[in-house]
Structure formats: structure tokens, C-alpha cells
Amino acid sequence: MKNKNLVLITLLVLTMLTGSLLAGCGKGADSNSIKIGLLNEMTGGNATFGTSAANGAKMAFKEINAKGGVLGKQILAVIADNKSEPSESANAMTKLATQDNVVAVTGVFASSNAIAASSVAEATKTPFLAVGATNPKVTVDEKTKKVKDYTFRVCFIDPFQGTVGANFVLNTLKLKKAAIMVDNSSDYSKGLAAFFKESFTKGGGSILSEEAYLQKDQDFKAVLTKLKSLNPEVIYVPGYYEEVGKIVKQAREMGIVAPIIGGDGWDSPKLVELGSAPALNNTFFTNHYSVDDNSPASKAFVEAYKKEYGQNPDALAVLGYDAAKLLIDAIQRANSLDKGKIQAALASTKAYPAITGATTLNASHDAVKSAVIIEMKDGKQIYKATVKP
Ligand code: PHE
């Protein structure tokens, strides 16, 4: 009898224990920590971007934890790698939302990956703050045209970025005849090419030709031979650094001297490695941030980042940091770990003082903020101008 009671009590305690543990996990936390998902391109073709974004976020959490955390709890980052692939992005988001039970997710720079991750964020009602994904379809459903409830981003969008690029070519370089090379495997590249074209032709420019390539292509000589014969004054290549580096190098080898223009997808130390410093002279790209930004907050961030990682932050490191801090600010304002309340707090973000500029999330859950124009000179990024929205 005595033994039987003991067994029963033990069972009861065990059940209670597991129950409370599960309940704790369900809210994305045990009593002392809050779990946040960091979903990034840690491996694969765009690993420098994802690693930067994750590094920025980790530094933000470290700073916040050192000051006591949020809502009295320490932040626990759960890292998930999307391997630079859309299908893996959806898988990683599923794992974070349903197994790790995080309260929110930040990360992802590539639009195609963010679009895939956002479907799962919506289905699982998990607040998702994308870091660098600039295509409009990230936050607005392509079919229904409805703003996705749980998906946000901390960066500007490509209709703006494309216009900034087009105006720079028309008004600063004063060139009117362009050719475009678009990466047909990327939503980002296709979108940015279209937005550039729209603004460029509206402003009086003409597009001589639009050529396509695919991610992982190595040899661009056939396309470049065709472009060379058309003699464009400028070539717009809204792609990612892997292919862009090779395109620029091969173009120069073939004697194409025209300026080559791109977007934020160029911003990687690998660009110079692949493209070579001399070939990259006379190229320019639009971006989110420049280390030459002289604001005190930016200077302090660059110093802190260099101390932590031994290198200058690129745009994704800064955006990753900004996104992580903004997300924690939203959790603080929500004063709750309820995912619906965090969603509402994100949606009402106004003038959050981010390093990349005061950030308000608008009705379509996008950040409206300035772009910078960078010139590549002897392998270095030279800050040219800031363009306000
Ligand atoms: N904007 C790019 C995309 O949507 C990603 C990117 C962001 C690349 C920031 C570099 C810097 O795919």
C-alpha cells in the first residue's frame, strides 16, 4: 500500500513537472529566458550575408542581456540555417515555430527565402522581422495583395531602391542608354530590374536590352558579347555578389568599360575577391548603410562591432543588429510573450532610433528609410550620397 502511494505521488509530480515544462516551452521561455529565432543564410551561396546578419543580432542580444535582458529575462538566440534556399527557409521557420517554440524570429536577407519563410510565419502566427529582404512580395501577399499579418521588415523596399539607382544614372552619371542583366532565379533581382526599368524609362532613359542569367552560372561571356555589340552607356546588374563579381570581371576582360550599377546584393567583401579591385572601378551600387556614416550612434556601433568580430560591419550586420534591437523593443512595449501582442507592438513601431536611421514600420509593414550610393574605387567602398525617401 505504502509503495503504491509512493508510485502514484511520483507519477503525479512527474506529470506536473512535464506539464509545467511544456507550458513554459509553449510560451517560448523557461522562467529565466526568452527564445528568439535567428533564421539566416549561414551556409550556401550567400553565406557572408547571413553570417553578418546573425553576428549583428548576436551582438545586440549580448548588449541587451548585459543590461538585464527584456521583461526581466535573458534572451536566448536559437540559430537556424536556411542554407540559402527557399525550401530550407520554410523548413527552418517550421522548426523554430513548432519545435523550438520561439516567441519571434528575425533574420533572412534574400527575398526568395523570406517569402518562403513568411508563409510559415503566417500559418503559425509567429512574428517575423526580415532583415534585408527588399522585394515587395515579402510583406504583401502576391495573389491577394493583402499585407501579411505577422511579417515585417526593417529595410526599405525595391521600388524605392530601383528608383534611386535609375535617378543616379540619369541625373548624376547623366547616361541614358542602359542594358540590364537580371538573375532569373531570384525574386529580388527580377523585381529590382523591373523597378529600375520603370523609373529609368519614365525619366527619359531607354533600355537597349535585358538579358537573363541564373545563380551559380560561371561564364557570362555569351551575354556580355551580345551586350558589347549594342554599346550601352551603362549596365545595370541587380544581382548577388557571387555572380556580380564574375560578371564585372569578365566584362572588363572583354573590354567593356561602361559603368556597371547594382543594388544592395553587391555588398560583400567577397565582391572584390571575385571581381578584383581594378575591374570594379567605375561601378556603383545602392545600399542600406555606409560605414562612413558619421552619426555618433553609427560610429559607436562600428567600433563595438570591430571589437567583437575584428572587421567592419557590412549593411547586413547593421540591419541584423537593428532588427534584433527593434524586435526586443517591441517585446518590451508588448510587455508580454504573447505572439499576437508582439505582432501588434511591431505594427505600431514608430521612429525607432536604429543605426540605419529612424525606423517606422508603415501600413504594409515595411521600413521607410534612406538609401546610400556607394562607389567602388580600388577595391574600397566610397560613400557618395544619401538619398531620402
Ligand atoms: N535585398 C536583397 C534581397 O532582397 C538582400 C540583401 C540585403 C543583400 C542587404 C545585401 C544587403 O534579396
Return the best residue to mutate from 46, 51, 188, 286 for the ligand 1 pocket (most ligand atoms within 8 A of CB): 188
Q: How far is the CA of 352 from the centre of ligand 1 (A)?
A: 21
Same fold, 33-155+294-369 and 158-287: yes
In angstroms and rounded to an integer, the radius of gyration of the C-alpha atoms of the chain is 23
User: Which position has the grid cell 557618395?
Assistant: 384
Asked: is 158-287 a CATH 3.40.50.720 domain? The reply is: no
Q: Where are the domains of the chain?
A: 33-155+294-369, 158-287
Q: Sign of dihedral through CA atoms 267, 355, 136, 340?
A: positive
pLDDT in tens, 81-132: 999 999 999 999 999 999 999 999 999 999 999 999 999 999 999 999 999 9
Amino acid at 94: T
* Residue-by-residue pLDDT tens, the chain, 389 positions: 444 444 444 443 344 334 334 433 444 456 799 999 999 999 988 888 899 999 999 999 999 999 999 999 999 999 999 999 999 999 999 999 999 999 999 999 999 999 999 999 999 999 999 999 999 999 999 999 999 999 999 999 999 999 999 999 999 999 999 999 999 999 999 999 999 999 999 999 999 999 999 999 999 999 999 999 999 999 999 999 999 999 999 999 999 999 999 999 999 889 999 999 999 999 999 999 888 877 888 999 999 999 999 998 989 999 999 999 999 999 999 999 999 999 999 999 999 999 999 999 999 999 999 999 999 999 999 999 999 99
Rounded CA-CA distance 147/119 in Å is: 12
Task: Tell me if 226 sits within 8 A of 253, measured CB to CB.
Answer: no
Q: Whose CA is nearest to atom 9 of ligand 1?
A: 132
Rounded CA-CA distance 328/314 in Å is: 22
What pLDDT is stored for residue 292 in this prediction? 81
What pLDDT is stored for residue 29 in this prediction? 54
Could you tell me the strand order of the sheet in which 380-387 lies? 206-213, 177-183, 234-236, 260-262, 283-287, 371-377, 380-387
Task: Tell me if 179 sits within 8 A of 209, measured CB to CB.
Answer: yes
Q: How far is the CA of 45 from the centre of ligand 1 (A)?
A: 13
What pLDDT is stored for residue 290 in this prediction? 86
Cα 314–chain centre separation: 11
Task: Tell me if 366 sits within 8 A of 140, measured CB to CB.
Answer: no
User: Is the distance from the beta carbon of residue 243 to the nearest atom of ligand 1 less than 6 Å?
Assistant: no
User: Is the distance from the beta carbon of residue 135 to the nearest atom of ligand 1 less than 6 Å?
Assistant: yes
Class of 33-155+294-369 in CATH: alpha beta
Q: How far is the CA of 317 from the centre of ligand 1 (A)?
A: 12
Q: How far is the CA of 265 from the centre of ligand 1 (A)?
A: 5
